[in-house]
Structure 1
Amino acid sequence: MPRQKVYGKRSRAIYDLNAIHVSSPEQPCEKTTAKTTTVTQTDIPVRANEGRKREKKGERHALAERQNNEVVLPLEVLEYAKVDETPKREPQAKRTDKITLECEEEITLRRSPRRKRTPSKHAVDDISRGKSPSKDIKELLAGDGSPQKCKLSNSAAAQATAKEVTQQVEPLAQIDAVTPYDQHCSSLLDLTTHPIGCFDTWSTQLSSHFSINKIAEASFGEVYRLSLLEEIPDISRSDESVFKIIPLRAPSSALPTDKRKRKAALTKQEMMSKPKDVANEVKLLQRMSAIPGFTNFRDMRILQGRPPEAFSAAFKAWNAEQKAKKKDLSHFPDPSKKTSYSEDQLWAVIEMQDAGNDLERMVENSECTSIWTVWDIFWQVVLSLAKGEEGAEFEHRDLHLGNICVRSTPPTTIDPARKLGFTPLETTIIDYTISRCLMPSTAATPSIAYTDLSLDAALFEGDSTYEYQYDIYRYMRGVLYQDNAFAEIHNFSSKDLAATGRDWEQYHPQTNLVWLHLVLYKLLEQLEWPSALKAPNKKTKKAEWKAWKKANDLEHVLLKVQDLLDPGAICTNEIWSAGDLVLLALCEGWLDAQDVIGHAEGDESALVSQLEGLELQ
C-alpha cells in the first residue's frame, strides 16, 4: 500500500476516524502524510509539436516566455542526417559531419545562442591572479547546466539540439522536432529559458564553488542549501541559494511496456509530481516574489538523470542527523542506489534566495522563549499575509511552522519605546504548493492559481492526537465552506459542498486566520511569560523596569489576539482576514503605520496612503 502523503510535513500517525476531534491537543508529535491533488490551473500554454516560429529581430520577451531559437530532433533523425541519399542535397549532407555521435548513448549537445555561457574553466586561476570570477559564478547559477557531452539513454539523448542539421538539410524541416520529454514538461518549460539539462553536469559545476547540504524535505520534494566554499569578490552570502528539488513523473511513452514492470514503475511514481502541478507552484513563486515577506524566487530548470554524488552525500548526511536526533529518516529513496531512480529521471529544480532556518527547527531548539522574539515573528507573518491578501488575494492554506523561515540580521538593543522590531529577525513565508492567488492577466476574466482541495479527502483525515496541525486543515475547510471552523457538512460529499456555493477557487482569506491561530498557538506554548517574572525596582533599575513593563504589555496583547484567533471565534468577531487584524492593531496602537509599511522616508500620511493604494502588479 502506498504511503500516505500530506503537504509540507509527515508523521507516523495512522488515521482513525474515531480519533478526530476538534479540541486542541497539548502534546506535539510527528505527522501523517496525505495525497496531493491535481492543480486545476488551466492557463498554461501547450507547446505545439510542429516547432516554433522564428522571432523577429529585436522582439521583446515576457519574463516566463520560452526562447524559440532551437529545434530539437529525435536521435534517429540525427542518424538520418549523416547520409543524404538525395543527389540534390549532397553539399548539405557533407556538412552534417559536424554532428558527432560518439556512441549509441553519447551525443555532443550544442548550446542555443541565447543561452548564457557556463563559467570559465579558469575561474579558480583568476582568483589566484586577483581577478574577480563573480561574473562566471553568477552566470553559472543562471546557466542551463546543459552538458557538452553527457551520457544519456537513447530516449534522453533524443533531446539533443540539432539546429545545425535543420539549417543545412531542408527536407528535415517538416519532421516533428519536439521530444516526448519536452512535450511532457511543456508547462514547466514555458516558465523558463533553460532546456532540459543533465543533472550530473549541473551538479559538477556547482560543486566547484559551493558546498551542498540537505536542510529539509516535504512530501514531494527535498530542500538543499548552497554555501560558498570560500570568500569570492563581488559575491556575498545573500547570493547563496536554496534549491527545492522535485522528482517528476515520466511521460507514459517512457514507461515499460511489460505489465509487471509498468505497474512497478507507476507505483514508484506515486511519490512524484506532475509537471503541471509544479508549474502552478512556480507561477505562484513568480507572482509573490515582489511582495515583502515572501520567497525571493530566482530561477527554475528541468534536469535529467540520477542524482550525482554531491546530492547523494548530502542525503546520507541528513539521514544520519535525523537518526542521531531519533527522528524519522527520509521517506525518499536513497539516491545512491541505482534502483531508486532511472537514467531518464526528470527533476524540477526551483532556486530561491536562502531565507534562513525554518521556524519549526527554532521551536524545537527552544529559540523562541522570549516575548520579544515571539512578538516580532508573529506580527511579521501577519503583515506579510496582509500584504499578500491586498496585493494578490493570497491564501497560503498550509502555513505550519515548517513553511516560515527566519533569518537573523545584525543584533540591535531592545528599545521599549518601539512597537515592532525588537529583535534582529526577518521572516519569510515559503512553499505555495496548495496556495491560492490572483495572477496578473490582461484578459477580462482574471487567472486564478489554486489547488482544488475538495479532490483530496485524505488531507483532512490526519489524526490530531499526534499533531494539532491536522485539526487545522479541517478548521480551514469549515471556515471556507460555512464560516465556521467546527462545521461538519455531513461527509463533505461533492453534492454537500456544491450546495454551499463556495469552492477552493474563490477568495476566502479567513483561511489565513486559521493558520495564524496555529502559529501563535505554537509560539505561546514555549513562551517564558513576563508576568511570571519578578518586577525590577522602579527607582533603582528604571531601564530594566521599563523593559519588564513593555514585555508585560506585549503579553496581554498576544493573549487578546489569541482569543480573537480562536477557531470558534473566527468569522464571528468582525475579523475576516489578516488585513483586518492589521487594521485592528493600528487602531489599538499595537503597531504604527511605519511598522506596517516599513521604515521609509516621508510623513506618516504618505505611508498610510501607500498601504491603502496597494493594487495588483
Structure 2
Amino acid sequence: MARTTSVRTYGRQSRKLKKELILPAPAQSPPKKDQGPRDSVSDLTEKLSVVRLDAHDEEVPEEFVPCEEPRPLQHDDADERVENAPHLETSSEEREGKTELRVLTWADICPVGSQIEKIAEASYAEVYRIRNERGTSIIKAIRLQSPIKPQTKAQQKSELVDEEPHCEEDLVGELKISEWLADIPGFVVYKERYIVRGKTTPALLETHRTFHRRAKRKDPDRIQFYPSPSRYLDDTQFLVVELGDAGIALEDFELVSVDQLWDIFLLVAIALARAEDQIKFEHRDLHEGNLCIRQVSTPSIRVASKKPVSNFGYSGLDITILDYGLSRGEAPDEGDATPVAFDLERDLTLFRSTHAPQCAVYRQMRSFLLKGDRVHLPPKSHKTPYESGIDGPISWNGYYPYTNVLWLAYLYDYLTTNYRGPEKELKAFRQTTRELWAHLDPDAPRVILSFSSAVDVITFAVEAGWITEKQLMGDVSEIQGTLVDDESRNASIIEIIDTASDEAGLRRSPRRRVRGA
C-alpha cells in the first residue's frame, strides 16, 4: 500500500544541471519499491562512484586516537558460563560448498613482530588495528558460541557484564552487506574472514587491558562488556573479519576548519546516495563512532581574492562508513532480491535507551515506520514489538531511505556542535547551509518540506553549487593514478604457514578491490 502520510519533498531548485546529471524529482515518501525509471539516478550515481578529494591517496602518518563505540545492549538473562555451548565448525557458505574458512590462532593473526591495538567495541564485535611489514588492517572479532572461562570472583564483584556470544545466523547479514558495499568509495574495504580458535597472546591481552583503562578514565561508570582474553580457552572461537584501515573515528577527530565540515558531510552523503541506488542501502546506525576520517592529502588553500567554484575538496580528508550490524540492503543487479536487514524489533530497549545522543535517532526511525512522518515518539512509546504502522506491522525489511536523512541530520548537528575552529567561520557555514538544515531537521515545522533520501541531499548540494559536476564525474586519469596505492592498501596482510601442504609456504589472500568496478 502506498504511503499517504509522507515525508514531503523539498522545494526550490537554485540552478539547472546538465541533462546527464539531472536527478528525478524526489519521491513524496521514502519508497519501498522502484517507482519508475532509474536511468538518470543511475547516471549520476555511476559518476559518484569515482568521487575523490585528490588525485593522491597517500596516508599521512598520525598517532591514532582510540575510539569507543556505544555500549552493547545488556540482557538480564545473559548466561556468563557457556561451557556447554555448541561449537561452530563451519559457516553456512562452507556447508553450501561456496568457500572454506581457514582456522587460525591468535598467534597467526598477530605474530611476533606485528603490532595489535584495540580501538573500539562495535555491534557484536571488538575492533583491533594490526600493523606489520605488509601494511595495516582492521579486524573485527565476533565471539561465536563456544566455551570461555567463568568470571573470577573479582570480576563478579565488579559486576562486569559479558557481551553474549553470537550464532552464525546473527552475522550473515552484515557480512553480505559488507561485500556488496566494498567497491563503493566511502565504505570499508572487505578483505578476508577467518575462524580464530584458541587462547590469547600476551599482546592481545595487553591491548585489551589498555583499552579498558583508557575507557574507564573517560567514563568512570563504564563496565566491561567483552570478556577479557585471559578467559579464552583452547576451544574458544571467533569469527574474524579483516577490513581495510579506515583512519580514526569522528568522535576522536578534531574539527578545526570549515573545509572539514563541508567535505565530511558531503562525502558521507555521496557514499549513502551511491549505496541507496546500488543496493537500496540504509545504515541505520551512523553515529560518530561508526564514521572514520583519514587525511589523504595536504589541505588546499583557498584564494581569498577568487570566488571558489565549489565548497568541496579543500580539506584533504576522506571518510569511511563502518559497522553494518543494523543495516539494510539488497543484492545488486537482482531485481526481486530478498532484502537483508537486522530485525530491530527483537529488542526494543534500543529505542527506549537514553544513554547517548544517537538514541534519539533510533526512536526517530521507528516513529517514522509507525506514523509515516517526522513526528517522533518518546521512549515510553516504544514498548510493543511489531506494532501496527500505516502499512501494517512494523517490518525492518522494508526500504525507507529517509532513515539515511535522519543520520545525515545527526551528522550535521554533530559537526557543527563539535567544531573547534574560528566561530566566525562556523557562523558563515551555518548561514550558507541554513536551507539545507531546514530540510534535514527532524524537528522542523511540518510545513517545511523534507528530503526523503541521501540522493535528495546530493541533488540539493549540486543545485546549490557546493559541489561541481566535474567533481561528481571525477577524472579517469586521476582515479587510475591511485590504483596501485589502493591495491597495496586493500590487500590482506595476514600470512600464515600452511603446515598441511607438502611444501610449506606463505599464504596470502587473493582478494582485491578494484576502484570504480
Q: Label 1:437 to 1:195 Cα distance change in 2 as closer, same or farther (>3 A).
A: closer
1:493 CA drift (Å): 3.3
Residue 473 (structure 1) aligned to one of 362, 387, 400:
362
Contact 2:282 2:403 in 1 (8 A): yes
Matched residues in 2 for 1:488 and 1:521: separation? 20
1:33 CA drift (Å): 4.1
Give runs of aligned pairs for residues 22-421 of structure 1, distance below 5 A.
33-34=72-73, 181-182=88-89, 185-186=91-92, 193-203=99-109, 206-228=110-132, 235=134, 239-250=135-146, 271-325=164-218, 328=222, 330-336=224-230, 340-362=231-253, 367-415=254-302, 417=308, 418-421=310-313
Bigger CA radius of gyration: 1
Q: Which has the higher contact order (CA 8 A, sep 6+)?
A: 2
For residue 424 of structure 1, what is the aligned residue in structure 2?
A: 316
1:414 CA drift (Å): 2.1
1:277 CA drift (Å): 1.4
Cα distance per residue 1:93-134 (max 9 Å; x no partner): xxxxxxxxxxxxxxxxxxxxxxxxxxxxxxxxxxxxxxxxxx
Q: Label 1:330 to 1:558 Cα distance change in 2 as closer, same or farther (>3 A).
A: farther
Contact 1:409 1:424 in 2 (8 A): yes
Contact 2:69 2:289 in 1 (8 A): no
Cα distance per residue 1:504-549 (max 9 Å; x no partner): 111100001111111111111133575x54xxxxxxxxxxxxxx7x
Q: Label 1:188 to 1:411 Cα distance change in 2 as closer, same or farther (>3 A).
A: farther
1:35 CA drift (Å): 5.7
For residue 593 of structure 1, what is the aligned residue in structure 2?
A: 469
1:303 CA drift (Å): 1.5
| Secondary structure class of the residue paired with 1:181 | coil
Contact 1:291 1:387 in 2 (8 A): yes
For residue 16 of structure 2, what is the aligned residue in structure 1?
A: none
Matched residues in 1 for 2:352 and 2:298: separation? 43
Q: How many residues align?
A: 385
Q: Label 1:180 to 1:276 Cα distance change in 2 as closer, same or farther (>3 A).
A: same
Q: Label 1:585 to 1:274 Cα distance change in 2 as closer, same or farther (>3 A).
A: same
Q: TM-score, length-normalised on structure 1?
A: 0.56
Contact 1:462 1:470 in 2 (8 A): yes
For residue 515 of structure 1, what is the aligned residue in structure 2?
A: 407
Higher-helix-fraction structure: 1
Matched residues in 1 for 2:391 and 2:317: separation? 42
Matched residues in 1 for 2:438 and 2:280: separation? 25
Matched residues in 2 for 1:30 and 1:286: separation? 22
For residue 54 of structure 1, what is the aligned residue in structure 2?
A: none
Q: Label 1:404 to 1:279 Cα distance change in 2 as closer, same or farther (>3 A).
A: same
Matched residues in 2 for 1:331 and 1:514: separation? 28
Q: Label 1:500 to 1:34 Cα distance change in 2 as closer, same or farther (>3 A).
A: farther
| Secondary structure class of the residue paired with 1:213 | strand
Give the aligned residue type for 1:182: E
Cα distance per residue 1:363-387 (max 9 Å; x no partner): xxxx113211111111111111111
Query: Does structure 1 residue 500 correspond to structure 2 residue 375?
Result: no
Residue 343 (structure 2) aligned to one of 452, 457, 463:
452
Matched residues in 2 for 1:479 and 1:200: separation? 44
Matched residues in 1 for 2:96 and 2:473: separation? 35
Give the aligned residue type for 1:485: R
Give the aligned residue type for 1:429: I
How big is the alpha-carbon RMSD for the aligned residues of Structure 1 and Structure 2? Answer: 3.4
Q: Label 1:491 to 1:522 Cα distance change in 2 as closer, same or farther (>3 A).
A: closer
Matched residues in 2 for 1:592 and 1:558: separation? 16
For residue 373 of structure 2, what is the aligned residue in structure 1?
A: 484
Contact 2:282 2:327 in 1 (8 A): yes
Contact 2:283 2:327 in 1 (8 A): yes
Tell me, which stretches of 5 or more residues in structure 1 are unaligned? 1-28, 37-154, 157-178, 257-266, 534-547, 603-615
1:485 CA drift (Å): 3.3
1:491 CA drift (Å): 5.2
Query: Does structure 1 residue 562 correspond to structure 2 residue 437?
Result: yes
